[in-house]
Each structure stands twice: as structure tokens, then as C-alpha cells.
Amino acid sequence: MKKILTAIFAMASTTCALAQETPTSPLEISGSVDTYFKYDFAKDPRNAKTSFVTDHNSVSLGMIDIALKKKTGKASFVGELSFGPRGQTQSIPDAAAAGSSFNIQNLYVNYDFTDEFSMTAGYMGTFIGYEVISPVGNFNYSTSYLFTNGPFQNAGIKATYKFSDKVSLMAGLFNDWNVYSASRGVSAIGGQLMVAPVEGWTAYLNVLSGAGFGGYGTIEDLTTSYQITDKFKLGLNAANYDIKDSNVFGSYIGAALYPQYAVADAVTLGLRGEYFQYKKYGTTPKTSFTAVTFTANIKAGGLTFIPEVRLDHNSDKPFYKESGAIAPNAGQFSLAAVYAF
Amino acid sequence: MRSILVVLFSICSLCLFAQQKNFSKDDQGKFIYYKVVDSVNLNKQVLTSRASKFVNDFYKKQLKQSSATDSSVLATGKVVIDKTLLVAGHPSGEVSYQFIFEARDDKYRFWLTDFSFVPYKRDRYGNFVASTTISTPLEKPVGKLNAGEWTAIQESAYSKAVKFAEDFRKYLATELPAQPKPKKTETISTKKW
């Protein structure tokens, strides 16, 4: 632990020293604002089993997200905060009790030792998975089961080496998932291999092992996307998470496919098809979800309208009908407006 | 006095309106920034040598030489377009282009063409990265929904091209400085008084 702290302080000191000698870039400011209306076909908000878009028959808030970035020579920082339900109560962790504060999305420093090698320390968006908290980073407005059940963010220190534009490798030490300070020490190790075999195709092979949701476990993840033609893009996310203690809930396996087709300059249609299974734990049997989400992105300058229809199925009947009776199916319609600046 | 001010104001307004904000098109309908420059007393070898130096030294972060002859230099370039929000902003995309230079004795010409734009998006770590590998020709018309933003990108690319041209003309008009000799560091010895 002492060694890690020494490395972080050494990196920070070097950054300060070099900052006096090298030119600075302008401060970058960017962010987004989002709001949505959702209607659950069974009029029951409990049918939302994934993150965000949880209200029913309501014009609701997502979040305002503000990011700052500055680079001084080889050193840079990113600080990103979000305010609003998507960035507060629905993100983990909420900085204050009762969901009245904000969520840090990114807060880290980075140093590029060379063009190929860099180190980063702080709190960062997770390297696991296809979807992210920010609505600007996702095509669909609702989120997948894989996103909801995986890590959102990881605090830690990582090193990245870029062998070429087609291959890079990251390795790092991390806290347990989604915490600003470790409750079980710097107890997870993670890595990411990025390969870009052909132009337009990028694949990330990710592993994170150590303290996480439900105790200690290991998650293996494949996230890839391929811009096959000017108009057609295909994305894939597949992951497996095993908690060491087989009596604890939270182990899962799943895959999601993301085909998207641009029908016009400003309009892209997309689909997310997902299979997701919570694995058996203790005496509780496994349970499986399938979900199909039809989404359109209509862009007008910085604004994107996202109409969406989502259908979920689970034969174990975790959903509710309008009468309150349990049901195997759920459906919802939502219309979101996301402005990126 | 008042009439003089009115005339001056009118002239200034005309100058402002006359200022070109966007690219001209070539005979293939592509955007082009084209200049012919008289350069008296400079032969084509000197001009070509300076142009090559400009590409490989002065603008090496933005340009990559693709070929050269005794009177021409070809390079590909890339420039980042920024989206400005009052006092700060962030990169919104990059424009790639072709740079072509040809020299004769006492004059040269250069042009920038094949402009294409790749938009950036913010990744999960808060960095702006290319959102696609598919670039869009800068002269391509877009629908009404995104016309304003697209025009801003075209104008920003044009102003970058103007800056590039100014830098290039100044560089070619200036005698290249000789390589400075390394300074001999003086050392002080305490062995003798």
C-alpha cells in the first residue's frame, strides 16, 4: 500500500515540477443535460429492472453533467461531476446521504511518460462494459442488465502501453467497485487488451478480479464495435461474473448485441437485444432475462431526441401487470432529450 | 466630421462583409484553398527546400509528407476543430486534408484540398476521441437540422486554412536560420586563483 501511495505522490510531484516548464492547453469544458418521459405499459414503475429511466408517466430529470479537462505538457487532469437523479440517487455512490448531493464521474490525473506509455490515478469511469452512465455515451437511453450489474466506476492506478494504433495494454490496481475510498483496501487487479484488427473495428478484452459486488469475484468482459459500412455499425458486449462465495447473490452471465443503421444524416435506428442470467446462489435457482430495445437517435445540432420502445421477458415472472399480479413480460415507451455541449 | 465618420464606417462594414468565411470550390466541386505567390529572387530549389522544411519541421505535428520532387511537396494534414463556449471549449472533431506545393523560379503555388471531417465524442474517461472511422467530405451538404453546426465547422476549418497559409507564406519568405552552435559551457576551477 505504501508503495502505491509513494508512486502516486511521486507522479503528482513530477507533474507539478514539469508543469512550470511546459506550455499549457486551454481548459476544456464539456458536458450534457438530459430529461425524459417514460410510460410503462402496465403503469407500474417497478417493472424497470435496470438503471435510470425509472419513473412512470412523468417528465423526469436525468442529470446535468459537467466535465473539466486541462493538459499541461505531458500532465493532465479530468474532473467530471453530475447532478440530478441519474447522477445522484441512481448512480453509485451518491456523495451524500439521502441522495441529495452529486456523483463524481471522473476525477483523475494522468501523465504521458512517452507517446506510448502513460499512467493514470484517481476515480475513473469503469473500463468494463459497453454502456456508460452519461447518456451522451450511449445509443439507447435505457440501460442493459449487463451495465446495471457491472461496475460503474473504479478508483485506482493504472498503466497503459500503446504498442501501436492497433494494440494497447492496460493493467492496474483498483479499490472495490464504485467507491471513492476503499473499504477493503486496494484489493482488485484489472487489465484491458485493446485490439483494432481492421479499420473501424475495435475490441476490448477486460478482466477485473478482486473486491467487487457481493464480495470477491472475477469479471471477464468483451466489448467490441465494428463500423462495417458508412451506415451500419454493430456492437457486442458479453460478460461473465463469478463471486467467490457461491451462496451470495450477484454472479451473472450475459450478452448484448447492438446493431445500428443510419437512415439519414440526422437519423439512426438501432436495436439492443440482450440475454442476461443471474446465476444460481445457495438454494436459489438461476433466473434469465431477455430484452429487446428499439431506439432512434434524431440529431439536431447538440440536441439528440431518443424515442425508445423496450420489451423485457423473464419466465420467472419478476414483472407486474396493471392489476398488480406478477407477469413474465414488461414493456415501456420513453422519449428522451439529451443536449451535449 | 460626421460625414467622414459615416464614410469610414461604411468602408469598414464593406470590408467586414467582403471578408471570405468559407472555401471556394475547384472544378470537381471540392473545397479548395488555393494561392499563387510571387517570390522574387528565390529559385525553385530554395523554395522547395523551405517547403519541405516547413512540412517536416515547422508543422511536423500537423503534416506528414507523402512525396516530394525537386519542385514539389505533397503532404497529408490533420487539424483539430474546437467548439468554443464563451471563454473555454473543447475539441469537436478533426479535419484531414491534402497539401500540395509546386515551385517555379521566383514564384510558387500551394493548395489545400480533400477536406474531410471526423466528429469527436467524449469517451467514458472524459477525453474527446474520434467517434467513427468514417469521414465526411467537408463540402457535402447536410440537412436543415444540422446545417448551423456544419457551417460552423466549415468556417472553423477555413480559418485554420487561412492561418496555415499565413504561416506557410511567412516561412517561405524568411531565410532559414542557421543551426545554432552549441554553447561552450564555462566551468570554474577552484584549483587556481
Pick the closest to residue A285 from A245, A239, A329, A251 (CA basis). A251
> Which residues does residue A76 pair with via DSSP β-bridges, in sequence order?
A71, A110
Summarize the confidence of residues B117-131 as an average pLDDT: 93
* C-alpha A64, offset from chain centre: 17
Q: Can you tell me which residue has the cell 471540392? A: B30
**Does pLDDT of B123 surpass 50?**
yes
Q: Which one of A24, A25, A30 would you mutate to disrupt binding with B, by most B Cβ within 10 Å of its Cβ?
A: A30
**Does pLDDT of B141 surpass 60?**
yes
Look at A36-50, A252-266, B176-190 and tell me which has the smallest mean pLDDT: B176-190
> Cβ contact (<8 Å) for B128 and A108?
no
Summarize the confidence of residues A237-250 as an average pLDDT: 96
The DSSP 8-state label assigned to residue B15 in this structure reads: H
- Cis bond leading into A93, ω under 30°? yes
Which one of A26, A106, A298 has the shortest CB-CB distance to B126? A106
Interstrand relation of A28-40 and A326-327 (parallel, antiparallel or unpaired): unpaired
> Cβ contact (<8 Å) for A26 and B132?
no
Any chain B CB within 8 A of the CB of A80? yes
Instruction: Report CA dihedral (A111, A112, A116, A117) to the nearest 10 degrees.
Output: -30
> Do the Cβ atoms of B44 and B54 come closer than 8 Å?
no
Summarize the confidence of residues A191-201 as an average pLDDT: 95
Residues A215-240 as b/e (b if ≥16 CB within 10 A, e otherwise) read ebbbbbbbbbbbbeeeeebebbbbbb
Looking at residue B181, its pLDDT comes to 62
Looking at residue B190, its pLDDT comes to 84
**Does pLDDT of B15 surpass 50?**
no
> Do the Cβ atoms of A208 and A156 come closer than 8 Å?
no
> Which residues does residue A160 pair with via DSSP β-bridges, in sequence order?
A118, A170
Domains of chain B: 20-172 (3.30.530.80)
Residue A21's pLDDT band (cuts 50, 70, 90): very low
> Cβ contact (<8 Å) for B123 and A265?
no
Mean pLDDT across chain A, nearest whole number? 90
CB pairs under 8 A between A and B: 76
Pick the closest to residue B88 from A24, A146, A120 (CA basis). A24
- Higher local confidence (pLDDT), B137 or B13: B137
Fold of A2-340: Porin (2.40.160)
Looking at residue A88, its pLDDT comes to 72
Summarize the confidence of residues A324-336 as an average pLDDT: 96
**Considering chain B, what percentage of its residues have pLDDT values greater than 90?**
61
Q: Can you tell me which residue has the cell 438530459? A: A34
In angstroms, the CA A163 to CA A312 distance is 42
Any chain B CB within 8 A of the CB of A197? no
Pick the closest to residue A82 from A99, A103, A67, A62 (CA basis). A103
Summarize the confidence of residues A305-318 as an average pLDDT: 97
Which one of B85, B122, B145 has the shortest CB-CB distance to A67? B122
Residue of A nearest to B133 (CA): A200
Interstrand relation of B107-122 and B136-137 (parallel, antiparallel or unpaired): antiparallel
Looking at residue A100, its pLDDT comes to 62
SS3 letters for A170-234? EEEEECCCCCCCCCCCCCEEEEEEEECCCCCEEEEEEEEEEEECCEEEEEEEEEEEEECCCCEEE
Count of all residues that appear for chain A in the document: 341
Look at A39-53, A94-108, B163-177 and tell me which has the smallest mean pLDDT: A94-108
Mean pLDDT across chain B, nearest whole number? 85
In angstroms, the CA B83 to CA A276 distance is 40
The tens digit of pLDDT for each residue in A81-124 reads 998 888 776 776 665 556 567 789 999 999 999 999 999 999 99
> Cβ contact (<8 Å) for B127 and A78?
yes
Domain residue spans of chain A: 2-340
The tens digit of pLDDT for each residue in B21-46 reads 789 999 999 999 999 999 888 898 99
Pick the closest to residue A64 from A95, A90, A89, A86 (CA basis). A86
SS3 letters for B17-58? HHCCCCCEECCCCCEEEEEEEECCCCCHHHHHHHHHHHHHHH
